[in-house]
């Protein structure tokens, strides 16, 4: 498969992302149907499902042999990354979408035989499309993102949800609290995809989560690969795109330091 093949997919993906974003913005004046999934903090709306369906219809009609893994389960069940697989989060940051009508993103990673080829994270209201094609660099709108440079935690703006430094089932929070103390500043944006895009753009230096799904990270991985960023589990293992993972995404060196000095300490 040559560059032209991926450029054709890229052109379609960008058109569909803008069309989907317009559907979302047009819905702002309509009444939103909000439901809980697993608990009252886990929201889903009619728009999450509608946008996922929109992408699936377009992809099936244009690329019938591509497969789709989507958060809302409208696509097929995916148990392998064979062939070309679109990994879609129709709205990442649903809580922000419901409460703020901003600070959420459409996130799409396109993988071929398990390799990240194309990545898109669109801040729908902010109008910023973070995008990357393997080997062609990463961009925000038309502007190329720079290679990430090593940094220390003391100089770093680091992102994580505050819940991970309270008692939780996934990690001893006493391992993470010292990161909060040592960093120059801590931020939390409420959208894993935007947090990954911001790491790729150098707006934050690292992001950590104890539980993310493939659709939260797929696009971000492609972006980070293009700018020399690192994205692994918090133990430094490769991320699975078929299962939930922990995540540490950051500039080089900071990544190794956090694992060595905080996680494995």
- According to DSSP H, which parts of the chain are helical? 3-26, 46-62, 94-100, 173-182, 192-200, 214-227, 254-258
Within 100-159, which residues bind ligand IPD (CB under 6 A)? none
Alpha-carbon distance values, 251 to 54, 118, 191, 198, 224 (Å): 35, 20, 19, 11, 9
In this chain, which residue has its C-beta nearest to Ca ion?
92
Question: Is residue 195 a contact point for Ca ion (CB under 5 A)?
Answer: no
- Residues paired with residue 129 on neighbouring β-strands, in sequence order: 122
In this chain, which residue has its C-beta nearest to ligand IPD?
192
Q: Which is nearer to ligand IPD, 93 or 229 (CB)?
A: 93
Number of amino acids touching ligand IPD (CB under 6 A): 13
Question: Is residue 89 a contact point for ligand IPD (CB under 6 A)?
Answer: yes
The site partner of 246 among Ca ion, ligand IPD, none (C-beta below 5 to 8 Å per kind) is: none
Within 214-233, which residues bind ligand IPD (CB under 6 A)? 216
Closest CA to 114 of 78, 65, 77: 78
Q: Which is nearer to ligand IPD, 84 or 191 (CB)?
A: 191
The distance of closest approach from Cβ of residue 205 to ligand IPD in the complex, given in angstroms and rounded to an integer, is 18
For residue 151, the SS3 value is: coil
The distance of closest approach from Cβ of residue 171 to ligand IPD in the complex, given in angstroms and rounded to an integer, is 14
Question: Is 44:94 a contact under the CB 8 Å cutoff?
Answer: yes
For residue 12, the SS3 value is: helix
Which residues line the annotated binding site? 71, 89, 91-92, 216
């Amino acid at each position: 498969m040559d560059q032209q093949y991926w450029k054709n997919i890229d052109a379609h993906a960008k058109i569909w992302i803008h069309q989907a974003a317009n559907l979302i913005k047009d819905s702002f004046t309509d009444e939103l149907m909000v439901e809980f999934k697993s608990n009252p903090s886990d929201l889903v709306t009619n728009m999450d499902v509608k946008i996922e369906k929109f992408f699936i219809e377009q992809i099936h009609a244009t690329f019938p042999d591509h497969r789709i893994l989507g958060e809302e389960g409208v696509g097929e069940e995916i148990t392998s990354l064979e062939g070309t697989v679109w990994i879609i989060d129709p709205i990442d940051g649903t809580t922000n979408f419901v409460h703020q009508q901003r600070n959420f993103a459409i996130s799409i990673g396109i993988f071929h035989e398990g390799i990240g080829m194309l990545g898109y994270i669109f801040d729908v209201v902010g109008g910023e499309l973070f995008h990357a094609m393997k080997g062609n660099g990463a961009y925000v709108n038309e502007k190329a993102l720079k290679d990430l440079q090593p940094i220390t935690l003391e100089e770093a703006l680091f992102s994580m949800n505050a819940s991970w430094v309270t008692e939780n089932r996934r990690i001893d929070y006493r391992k993470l609290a010292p990161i909060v103390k040592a960093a120059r500043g801590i931020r939390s944006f409420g959208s894993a995809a935007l947090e990954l895009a911001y790491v790729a753009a150098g707006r934050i230096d690292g992001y950590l989560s104890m539980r993310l799904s493939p659709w939260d990270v797929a696009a971000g991985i492609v972006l980070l690969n293009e700018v020399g960023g690192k994205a692994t589990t918090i133990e430094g293992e490769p991320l699975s795109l078929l299962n939930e993972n922990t995540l540490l995404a950051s500039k080089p060196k900071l990544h190794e330091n956090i694992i060595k000095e905080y996680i494995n300490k």
